Structure formats: structure tokens, C-alpha cells
Amino acid sequence: MTQAFHHIQPRVTAADYLRRERTSEVKHEYLEGKVLGMAGATTAHVKIAGNLYFSLRSRLVGKPCQPYGTDMRIATGRGASYVYPDLTIICGEIQHEPADDQLGTVTNPTAVVEVLSPSTANRDRGVKFTAYQQAASFREYVLVAQDAPIVETFYRQDDGVWAFNHAHGLDAVVRLKSIDVQLPLAEIYANVRLDDTTPVT
């Protein structure tokens, strides 16, 4: 995702994080005992995330899986992490995090999509991917570049081994195995200027 992160406090408990997040005017994530603020996204990021949402929603009509946008918060590892993916796909009934009495957090993502940026790519590939893997329902991780038509997928097979696939170029098609959907990269990057780093205000 394109958001820039900054440390708010060295370490807090998950309960402290949830209590503060209820009244916060901006979103924060909770990883490794630290609360991280989320800044604004670029124009390219917003367009890519929007294209993905509408493409997936149209393909999943009438099916048990549905896409959700950036307001969907995910809890993993029994509340060890709380994160806001760029896109979350949930199959079946939503399962809520018991520690969040406002029912604003879910625990059963099937697939997660993150739109990468130079400032967050390492975190998305590292600690956040590790956090998502703590969810038993999590089957697929999708990383989408915003400076080139590149989509990477990591799919957890039945034996627990992650299979990697790479789609490159506007003529390519990426398959999301966890929901049996194919997306042309030309559709994902429609009307996106890849060098557009203008922040959305």
C-alpha cells in the first residue's frame, strides 16, 4: 500500500490500540507491539485500488466471496496485529474479532491485496505478510506495483507451501486461485498514469 508509516509510540498493548483507534480521526495499524500512523495515498494508488475493487466486485456477484476496501480492518494471530489492507476478500460469513466490541475488525480474510510503494514495499513483503499468515483462512497475497504493470501473487497450497506467480505487462492476466478469478492487467491499470505520485488530499 502507498501509505507512509511513522511510529506513534514505542509499545502499547492491543487493548490500548483498539481503545485509541475508536476515537481517532485517522487510521493506524498495530504491528509487533507498535502503533503506526497511515498517511495519504497517491493518485495512482487510489485509481489502482479502485479498479481492483470494481473488477473483483463485478466478477464475484452471486458468489460466496466479496471484496472490501481500505476501511476493513483485519486482526491476525489472536489480536497480535491489526492492519488495514488496500483490499480484502472474504469468503463465507464474516468472523469478527471478539476483542473489538464495535464489530469493526474481522479475522477470516481469504485473500489480501496491497498496492506497493517505495516507502512501504519492505513492510508489505515482510512483517505484514507474516502477520496475514497467522490467519487460518488466509490463502492468497497479491502485491500490485503502482509504478509499473506488475502483479505478484503468493498462494498457500493445501500442503502449506506458498506458490509464487508473477504477471508483467498490460497484455498479461493474473489469476487469483483462491477465488478462481482472472484479471487482465490492462483492467487493473486502466486510466492510471504510472508516474503520477500526486498525493490525494
* pTM of model > 0.75: yes
Three-class SS state of 62: coil
| CA dist., res. 96 & res. 4, Å (int) | 27
| CA dist., res. 72 & res. 81, Å (int) | 14
pLDDT band at residue 39 using 50, 70 and 90 as cut-offs: low
Tell me: pLDDT of 10 over 70.
no
Question: Mean of the pLDDT values across residues 4-29?
Answer: 77
Give tens-digit pLDDT for 122-163.
Answer: 889 998 999 999 999 999 999 999 999 999 999 999 999 999
Tell me: pLDDT of 26 over 50.
yes
| CA dist., res. 102 & res. 105, Å (int) | 8
Q: Are strands 105-106 and 73-76 parallel, antiparallel or unpaired?
A: parallel
Q: Cα dihedral angle (96, 14, 130, 77), rounded to 10 degrees? A: -50
| All structural domains of the chain | 41-188 (3.90.1570.10)
Cβ partners under 8 Å of residue 54, min gap 6: none
Give tens-digit pLDDT for 172-193.
Answer: 999 999 999 999 999 999 999 9
Question: Mean of the pLDDT values across residues 36-53?
Answer: 89
